Each structure stands twice: as structure tokens, then as C-alpha cells.
DNA sequence: GATTCCCGCCATGGG
DNA sequence: CCCATGGCGGGAATC
């Protein structure tokens, strides 16, 4: 119970601390954490008195940071959920949350039940490219449906997704299966709409992708979660649906923040905060984040939620309600995996990147097109040369090993689900961003 | 009082 | 039926 939980915390702390220490060298500049938020239990003895419950220490963002610190190494084979949960001292449920968004951004791939393969940040560029590509195709491909409200007669109070069967959906699917190079693909059998994928359509992972796409396609680089929710959701919606969606977006935004893919900013004056895309992001880790130039545009004040460098969870609960949650948290398994070297293969394929700042994704550039590092575009003002993206634009899918195949299979599937859902949301996107977004840089 | 968002119940879907 | 997964929303902590 309590005893075990504390020991778990200890282990987590040790592991993460070690990891952090090891990682230190990788950071361009070591910069002590500024720790915007003083530890609530900072006073007192060496350890910690009792440590009052603090939400921040349990945040998904922090958890994500720790997760990354813990696994972002060369010798990380596959990741077991139980193992992760135990190491980080959290319940399994939380790991699912993290893993889902990490996967959406290409940092992980599901290998099997309970098992994920670590791809690392090198996978991000490609994932973003995929995402963006889809988003753009989506935009131009789907029916323009100009400023028409699409009606949807009757309020149909709670159900949002109607399944409007889009004609070109099949075409896309076919194209996909080709790309995927699925050996066991039957040219006729498995072509199904995957009924009742309704569950998946509302998944955190999908939501994450759509959220990211939003940033990738519009040129205004900030959105408030309410806006995002409205955008990603349909039009009018039950208050409750909106609220739930926003809750999820908070979750996602927090982990994306910890990955430095976005940052929270205070919109001008007296307005709810919004999130700004930092595609060029560098390193996960703490808040120092050498997030390059990009001076915050005039009045926006960057007060992103700083994730402490401290190490995760302690077995303290939200309130004074004891209830030792104590999961069995068994950790058995982790036999010798063959997948182990998959990761290293990818790694070597990339030439070990990481420290050089510029890294190629899993696919080595087919045509070694070198894009100038943001050569000379828009002098002055914040240019948004997205390193992740421009970098990946030159990629040509040309996989040569297991892991990559899996990766693509994954993307293919994700697409399918995304496609149907997004089809309906696209029109509202259309009226919001119009054509301008279609041809923005690139 | 409003916002942020953690916690964990419990539906669900795969095996 | 068991168990891995992961929606979902109450309501506590923060702002």
C-alpha cells in the first residue's frame, strides 16, 4: 500500500534523475532549471515533510517529460506499459494517455499488446509531414462546401458524427493500401468501413493528430482550446460535448507542451490563453528549451506552464481521502525481444543525429535536397520556417526494414479513421481558413 | 467564480 | 470470460 507506493516513487526518482543526468550532456547548454513554481513542500527537512498534494506534480506534461527522459536513449528497445507505469510511479491509465499522443506525433509505435517501440524525436518530422500532407489533401480534395452551413437539419442533439459516406474515400483507401505495401492485403476482402470505429474516432490519438493538423495548415499560429474544440468538432454542439472535448485538448496540449511542440501563451490582453505552434521545437526536456529565435510577437507573453525538473509522483492523493490505489503493478515479461535492433537500425540509418541538431527521420532523403536553413525569407517578423516540416518534405518513403513497415501500417490505419471523421469537419475549416492556408509556404 | 485537468469508473473490444 | 485499452465526466486544485 502506502509503503510500496513510496518505494515506487523512490525508484522513479532515481531512474529519472539518472536519466536526466545522463542527458545533460546532450543538451546544448546546461541551464539550471529556473523552476517557476517553487516546490510546495520545499520547506522543512532534507526530504519532504509530508508533501501536500500538488496537481502540477501529477500533470500529464510532467509525466510525459519524465517518460521521454526515461526512454529517449539509444539503448531503449521496446517499452512495456507496466514497466513504464511502474517506473514513473503512475497508474497504467495515464501511460495510455501519454503513449497515445506520443504515437500520434511519431515518437512511438505500437508494436504489440503492452508493447511500444521507441522511435524518438527523429520520427517527428515524418509524422508531421504525413499529417500535413493529409490535411492539405483533405482540404483541396473534399467538397469545398463554401460558407454553407451544411444544415444537418434537426439539431440531433448529442450525436455529432454522422457518417456521410464520401465517394472518394474509397479511392484514398486504395491508394493507401498500395503505399502501405501490405503483403497480406487482399484486393477485395478487407475493404471495409470498419464499422463501429466510433470509439476510435474519438480517441485521444486522433484528436491529437487533428489538433496538430490544425497548426500545420493554418497560418495563424495560435489557437485557444475553445477554438480548437469548435473547429475539430462540428458546429453547434451540446455544451457537454464541448466541455469534454476541451478537457481532452487540455490533456493533449499539456503533453505537446512538454515536448516543446507548442507553447502556451497569453493572448494579447484579457483573453483566454492560447497555444502557439513551435514546430521547430528542440529537445523535449525541461523548460529551458532552446527554442531558437522566434521572439514572441509583440504583445503575447509567453508564460508557458513550466514543468518542473523534479521527478514525478509521490503516493499522495488528491485529497485527504486515503484510499491507497495500489495497483498490482506487476512487472513480468520483457523477454529478449527481436525488435530490439529495429530501433538501432533506424538509428544508424539516420546517422545518429541528435547532437547535430539536424536529423533525418526514419527515411533517409531520397534526393539529397538540401533546403537552405531558412535562407532568406521574410526579413523581420517571425518567420515560421518549420524545421521539422521542411526537413521532411524531401523525404521519399522508401523503407527497408521491419519497423518502418509497421510505422506505415500504423499511419495508414490512422488515416482511415481520421479521414471519415475529418470529412465532416473540413467544411468548417474551410470557412475559417479559406484558401490562403492551402498554399502557405511549401 | 472560472479555468485547468487529474482520477478512476466502467464500457468495449480483442483474444 | 478475462484483461488490455481508453472514453468520459465529476469535481478538486488553481488561477
DSSP state string for A197-224:
THHHHT-HHHHHHHHHHHHHH-SS-EE-
Confidence of residue A330 (pLDDT cuts 50, 70, 90): very low
- Name the nearest CA neighbour of A348 among A68, A82, A59, A120: A120
Contact between A228 and A214 (Cβ < 8 Å): yes
Residue A358 has a pLDDT of: 32
Q: Report the pLDDT averaged over residues A87-91.
A: 91
Contact between A406 and A105 (Cβ < 8 Å): no
Higher per-residue pLDDT: A73 or A365: A73
The answer on pLDDT for A370 being more than 90 is no
Distance A242 CA to C9 C1' (A): 12
Residue A201 has a pLDDT of: 80
Contact between A70 and A107 (Cβ < 8 Å): no
Among protein residues, the one whose C-alpha sits closest to the C1' atom of B7 is A318
- A50: DSSP letter: S
The answer on pLDDT for A68 being more than 70 is yes
The answer on pLDDT for A210 being more than 50 is yes
- Name the nearest CA neighbour of A334 among A86, A62, A23: A86
pLDDT digits (tens, 9 = 90+) for A400-430: 444 454 445 544 544 544 444 444 444 334 4
Whose C1' is closest to the CA of A305: which nucleotide? B4
Question: Which of the nucleotides in strand B have any atom less than 7 Å away from a protein CB atom?
Answer: 3-9, 12-13, 15
Whose C1' is closest to the CA of A55: which nucleotide? C13
The answer on pLDDT for A250 being more than 90 is yes
Q: Report the pLDDT averaged over residues A297-304.
A: 40
Distance A396 CA to C10 C1' (A): 48
**C-alpha cell recorded at residue A379:** 526579413
Distance A332 CA to C1 C1' (A): 22
CB of A383 within 7 Å of some strand B atom: no
Confidence of residue A51 (pLDDT cuts 50, 70, 90): low
**C-alpha cell recorded at residue A252:** 493533449
- Name the nearest CA neighbour of A17 among A108, A118, A88, A90: A88
Q: CA-to-CA distance for A25 and A259, rounded, in angstroms?
A: 19
The answer on pLDDT for A245 being more than 60 is yes
Residue A229 has a pLDDT of: 86
Q: Report the pLDDT averaged over residues A212-223.
A: 84
Residue A352 has a pLDDT of: 36
The answer on pLDDT for A81 being more than 60 is yes
Q: CA-to-CA distance for A412 and A85, rounded, in angstroms?
A: 28
pLDDT digits (tens, 9 = 90+) for A121-178: 988 998 998 888 888 887 676 544 333 333 333 333 334 443 333 333 332 333 333 2
**C-alpha cell recorded at residue A341:** 535492433
- A80: DSSP letter: E
Q: Buried b vs exposed e over A27-41: b needs ≥16 C-beta within 10 Å?
A: beeeeeeeeeeeeeb
Distance A85 CA to C8 C1' (A): 21
Percent of chain A with pLDDT over 90: 17
Confidence of residue A9 (pLDDT cuts 50, 70, 90): very low
Question: Which of the nucleotides in strand C have any atom less than 7 Å away from a protein CB atom?
Answer: 4-15
Residue A115 has a pLDDT of: 92
pLDDT digits (tens, 9 = 90+) for A28-47: 332 333 333 333 333 333 34
- A151: DSSP letter: -
Higher per-residue pLDDT: A27 or A404: A404
Residue A43 has a pLDDT of: 35
Distance A235 CA to B1 C1' (A): 28
Sheet architecture: strand order including A108-112: A78-80, A115-118, A108-112
Q: At what angle do helices A204-217 and A239-258 cross, to 10 degrees?
A: 80
- Identify the helix (H) or strand (E) that includes residue A231: helix A225-232
Average pLDDT, chain A: 58
The answer on pLDDT for A396 being more than 60 is no
CB of A60 within 7 Å of some strand B atom: yes
- A237: DSSP letter: -
What count of Cα atoms within 13 Å lies in the side-chain half-sphere of residue A268?
5
Residue A77 has a pLDDT of: 74
Distance A161 CA to C6 C1' (A): 19
Amino acid at each position: 500500500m502506502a509503503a510500496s507506493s513510496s518505494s515506487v516513487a523512490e525508484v522513479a526518482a532515481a531512474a529519472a534523475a539518472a536519466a536526466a543526468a545522463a542527458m545533460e550532456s546532450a543538451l546544448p547548454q546546461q541551464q539550471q532549471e529556473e523552476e517557476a513554481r517553487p516546490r510546495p513542500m520545499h520547506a522543512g527537512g532534507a526530504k519532504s515533510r509530508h508533501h501536500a498534494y500538488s496537481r502540477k506534480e501529477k500533470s500529464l506534461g510532467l509525466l510525459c517529460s519524465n517518460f521521454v527522459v526515461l526512454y529517449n536513449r539509444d539503448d531503449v528497445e521496446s517499452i512495456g506499459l507496466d514497466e513504464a507505469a511502474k517506473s514513473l510511479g503512475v497508474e497504467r491509465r495515464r501511460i495510455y494517455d501519454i503513449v497515445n499522443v506520443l504515437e500520434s506525433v511519431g515518437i512511438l509505435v505500437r508494436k504489440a499488446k503492452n508493447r511500444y517501440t521507441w522511435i524518438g524525436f527523429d520520427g517527428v518530422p515524418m509524422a508531421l509531414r504525413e499529417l500535413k500532407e493529409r490535411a492539405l489533401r483533405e482540404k483541396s480534395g473534399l467538397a469545398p462546401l463554401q460558407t454553407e452551413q451544411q444544415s444537418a437539419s434537426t439539431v440531433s442533439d448529442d450525436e455529432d458524427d454522422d457518417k456521410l459516406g464520401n465517394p472518394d474515400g474509397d479511392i484514398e483507401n486504395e491508394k493507401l493500401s498500395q503505399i502501405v505495401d501490405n503483403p497480406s492485403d487482399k484486393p477485395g476482402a478487407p475493404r471495409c468501413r470498419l464499422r463501429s470505429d466510433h470509439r476510435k474516432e474519438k480517441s485521444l490519438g486522433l484528436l491529437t493528430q487533428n489538433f496538430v493538423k490544425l497548426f500545420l495548415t493554418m497560418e495563424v499560429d495560435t489557437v485557444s482550446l475553445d477554438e480548437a474544440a469548435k473547429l475539430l468538432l462540428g458546429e453547434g454542439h451540446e455544451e457537454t460535448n464541448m466541455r469534454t472535448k476541451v478537457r481532452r485538448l487540455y490533456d493533449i496540449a499539456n503533453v505537446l507542451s512538454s515536448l516543446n511542440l507548442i507553447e502556451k501563451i497569453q493572448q494579447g490582453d484579457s483573453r483566454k490563453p492560447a497555444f502557439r505552434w513551435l514546430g521547430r521545437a528542440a529537445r523535449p526536456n525541461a523548460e529551458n528549451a532552446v527554442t531558437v529565435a522566434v521572439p514572441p510577437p509583440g504583445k503575447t507573453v509567453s508564460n508557458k506552464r513550466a514543468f518542473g525538473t523534479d521527478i514525478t509522483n509521490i503516493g499522495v492523493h488528491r485529497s485527504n481521502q486515503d484510499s491507497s490505489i495500489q495497483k498490482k503493478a506487476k512487472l513480468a515479461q520483457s523477454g529478449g525481444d527481436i525488435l530490439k535492433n529495429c530501433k538501432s537500425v533506424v538509428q544508424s540509418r539516420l546517422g545518429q543525429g541528435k547532437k547535430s541538431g539536424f536529423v533525418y527521420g526514419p527515411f533517409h532523403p531520397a534526393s539529397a535536397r538540401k533546403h537552405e536553413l531558412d535562407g532568406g525569407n521574410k526579413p523581420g517578423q517571425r518567420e515560421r520556417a518549420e524545421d521539422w516540416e521542411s526537413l521532411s518534405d524531401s523525404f521519399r518513403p522508401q523503407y527497408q526494414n521491419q519497423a518502418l513497415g509497421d510505422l506505415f501500417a500504423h499511419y495508414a490505419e490512422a488515416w482511415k479513421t481520421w479521414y471519415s471523421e475529418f470529412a465532416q469537419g473540413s467544411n468548417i475549416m474551410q470557412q475559417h481558413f479559406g484558401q490562403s492556408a492551402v498554399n502557405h509556404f511549401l
